[in-house]
Every structure is written in structure tokens, then in C-alpha cells.
Amino acid sequence: MTSPRILLAAHQIRPKKQLGQNFIVDPAFAEMIVQRAGILPEDIILEIGAGLGALTIPLARKAKKIFAVERDRQIIGLLNTKILAGNLSNVSIIEQDILSIDIEALAGDIGRKMVVIGNLPYNISSQILVQLIRSRNAVNRAVLMFQKELAQRITAKLGSKDYGRLSVMLQYSSDIKKLVDVKASLFYPKPKVDSEILELKFKTEIDPKAIDETFLFKVIKAGFGNRRKTLKNALAASELNMDANTAKIVLEEAGIDPIRRAETLSVEEFVKLGNSLINRESLAF
């Protein structure tokens, strides 16, 4: 594996900070990720941010098919050269922003669920996670690398300062497992912080289940939108179209003290609150 620094310099390409480009420099580390991900020969992989192919190549040698998503046209030329040099016929490059891809339609075309793998750019990590949650009927699981700060928010426990919107949404929809810590020195350019790799196994059955998941996610967003406020005031200040008195009534109906704050509510309590709001016929959302 040619050093990313040398390869990019040879083609007069600079890493693009706005795209969150940090390239893996150690092929042994890339192989380790593929091993830890537990890729099977029948797996169809959707790779987010294929870059220079550090993961794409070893993934292609393990899985049935790779859809390698990369939006940087300059990088795609180098990626394609590597794929051809490796004589790999099971890689399809998608020159597109991951957020513009209809994941469910892609899975529908191939007739099966996919495994999502990628080193997520920090600036759009949250958006990608929300996209995956909403598209999880098309995804078995995801193995993703996050900056440590975001990984800690995803895995945060109830009541902690890191426990927030993403914690609740992901813990509602998936089982989360930390796979490995990642040092910043394993990338070029070297990021300012270390990272973590998490595996998200999306649940096929959820209990308790939201009557309307889209609405549940709005309730979660409302609760954490003003996290210093009591839940009663946070809901009243949100886009849920209710006053403080109505919020107090609904919270009490759900068995939740209106003066609690969002970080004290379990996933199950958020579901109960969302379902209670849905069931109030007098509220027009």
C-alpha cells in the first residue's frame, strides 16, 4: 500500500478538509477493521467514503459485492486504478454524496439487506446516522468509525452529560457495541482527536415500539432541544404545537414528572411519551 501522502502528492491532490478526508495509512489496521467487522462471503457492502480504497480492497476480497460511495472525483480516479490493479470485479463506485442516496431503493434493486461500513466525516456524521436509522429496513448492521466525542454520545448512558438525541434514537433502533479504539496517528492528515469503531446491529423487533417513529424522533428532538429546561417547558418551546399546560398534562398521563429534564428519560419513557402524545386526539400536529 503506497502511503496516502506520497500518492496524493504525486497526483497534486490535497486532502479536502471540507469533506472530512482522513486516509488510513496502515494496511494492517485496515485489514483488522475488516476482520473485526465479521464480513461474510455473501455480504453486500455499502461503503461510505471509499477514499483511496484502504478498506474497499480488503472488503472486496471478503464480500460478495461492494458499493463504494465517494464524492471526490479526483480521488475516484485513484480508487478506480487500485480496483483495476487488484483485478476486482465486485466493486461498483458510486460518485455521489451518501446523503443523496436512497439506501432502501438500492437494497430493493439487489434484493437483500446490506452491511454499511465507513469512516464518517465528523461534520455530517449525525445526518448519516439519522439516514441509516430511517433506512434500517435495508441495513442489517453498520460498522462505523466516529471521532471519540461522537462515539461517546452514541453510547452514553441515561443521566450522563453526553446522553442526548442520538443516544436515544440509536439505542431505540439498534444494539451498539464498541469494537476498537483508533489512534489519530493512523490517518493522514492526522486528525486532532482519536476515534472509535462501533457496530450498530439494527433491531428487527422493538419493545416498546413507537406508534409513529417519525413523530417519536420529533419528540426526542424537542426534549433535547432545550435540555436545560424542564420537559414541560422544553416541549412547549418546541415545534410540537402545544402550550406548557398541555405539555404538563401529557407528561403526567405518561407517568413522567413534568419538571424532569430530557437526559433523565429512558428510551422506553420517550416511547411512552411519544405514544401518549399521538393518542391525544385533541392535539393537532
In angstroms, how far apart are the furthest CA atoms of the chain?
67
Q: What is the pLDDT of residues 224-251, one digit of tens each?
A: 999 899 999 999 999 998 899 999 999 9
Given a cut of 50, is residue 282 above it in pLDDT? no
Domains of the chain: 4-202 (3.40.50.150), 213-278 (1.10.8.100)
**Whole-angstrom distance, CA of residue 161 vs CA of residue 25:** 34
Q: How far is CA 216 from CA 69, 165, 222, in A?
A: 30, 11, 10
Nearest residue to 49 (alpha-carbon basis) of 119, 2, 136, 110: 119
Q: What is the pLDDT of residues 4-47, one digit of tens each?
A: 999 999 999 999 988 889 999 999 999 999 999 999 999 999 99
